[in-house]
């Protein structure tokens, strides 16, 4: 084995699906923040609302963000990048956990490739990423809060983006 792979981002956590109600209250709080900010998603083009929230490693403050679209399409910001950019702007540059919420009927909405790289920039170790389903924003079956039995995918940034590019600046 060569030393050239020793800093590669290898997953340190297993992926599993658990219920919302079984999660630690601090994780429930993070998912709830993502759920709430999702309602502010600016999505006149896709109608696809996403909410994200990240907990700062120092101090534990939660920073949340929604996706913000644009008529020119290219300048769209995903919810994850809105949240992380808000946090970094406020001085929080390392996170202990993240949460993402959207609604597709048969699949968890995991962060896009660009967002995985964006999150990785501010995660020097493998941090958990919690992914849950919200209600469908295009129909009116609105739930007020996440329910205890709702499924949550517990993954991590190194599961989502193994062997990532990171060390250039160090
Ligand atoms: N989107 C996110 O906010 N996060 C993701 O991880 C995937 C995609 C947004 C971008 C766009 O506003 C809408 O979802 C449809 O792609």
29 tagged catalytic: no
Catalytic residue among 80, 94, 121, 149: 80
43 in contact with ligand 1, CB cutoff 6 A = yes
According to the model, what pLDDT value does residue 7 have?
Answer: 76
CA distances to 20, 42, 53 from 27, in Å: 9, 25, 10
Select from 70, 28, 41, 62 the least CA-distant residue to 136: 41
C-alpha 50 to ligand 1 mean position (Å): 6
C-alpha 1 to ligand 1 mean position (Å): 39
119 in contact with ligand 1, CB cutoff 6 A = no
User: Where residue 140 falls among pLDDT bands split at 50, 70, 90?
Assistant: very low
C-alpha 164 to ligand 1 mean position (Å): 21
- Residue 76 scores a pLDDT above 80: yes
What percent of the chain clears pLDDT 90, i.e. is strictly above it? 79
Whole-prediction pTM: 0.94
Give the separation between CA 46 and CA 69, rounded to whole angstroms: 8
111 in contact with ligand 1, CB cutoff 6 A = yes
Give the separation between CA 98 and CA 120, rounded to whole angstroms: 11
- Partnered with residue 132 across adjacent β-strands are 101, 152
How many residues in the chain?
Answer: 170
- The average confidence (pLDDT) of the chain is 92
- Structural domains in the chain plus CATH codes: 24-160 (3.40.140.10)
Residue 82 in contact with residue 65, Cβ under 8 Å?
yes
Spell out a b/e string for 89-127, using b for 16 or more CB atoms within 10 Å of the CB, else e.
eeebeebbbbbbbbbeeeebbebeeebbbbbbebbeebb
pLDDT, tens digit (0-9, with 9 covering 90-100), for 5-57 = 877 888 988 999 999 999 999 999 999 999 999 999 999 999 999 999 999 99
Region 80-85: mean pLDDT is 98
Region 98-120: mean pLDDT is 96
């Amino acid at each position: 084995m060569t030393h050239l792979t020793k800093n590669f981002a290898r997953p340190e956590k297993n992926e599993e699906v658990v219920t919302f109600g079984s999660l630690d209250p601090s994780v429930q709080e993070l998912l709830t923040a993502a759920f709430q900010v999702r309602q502010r998603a600016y999505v006149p083009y896709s109608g696809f609302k996403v909410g994200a929230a990240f907990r700062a490693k120092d101090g534990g403050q939660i920073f949340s963000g929604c996706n913000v679209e644009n008529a020119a399409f290219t300048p769209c910001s995903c919810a994850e990048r809105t949240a992380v950019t808000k946090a970094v702007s406020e001085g929080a540059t390392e996170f202990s956990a993240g949460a993402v919420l959207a609604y597709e009927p048969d699949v968890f909405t995991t962060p896009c490739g660009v967002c995985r790289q964006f999150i990785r920039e501010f995660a020097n170790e493998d941090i958990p990423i919690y992914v849950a389903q919200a209600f469908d924003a295009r129909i009116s079956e609105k739930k007020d809060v996440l329910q205890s039995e709702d499924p949550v995918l517990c993954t991590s940034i190194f599961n989502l983006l193994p062997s990532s590019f990171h060390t250039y600046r160090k």
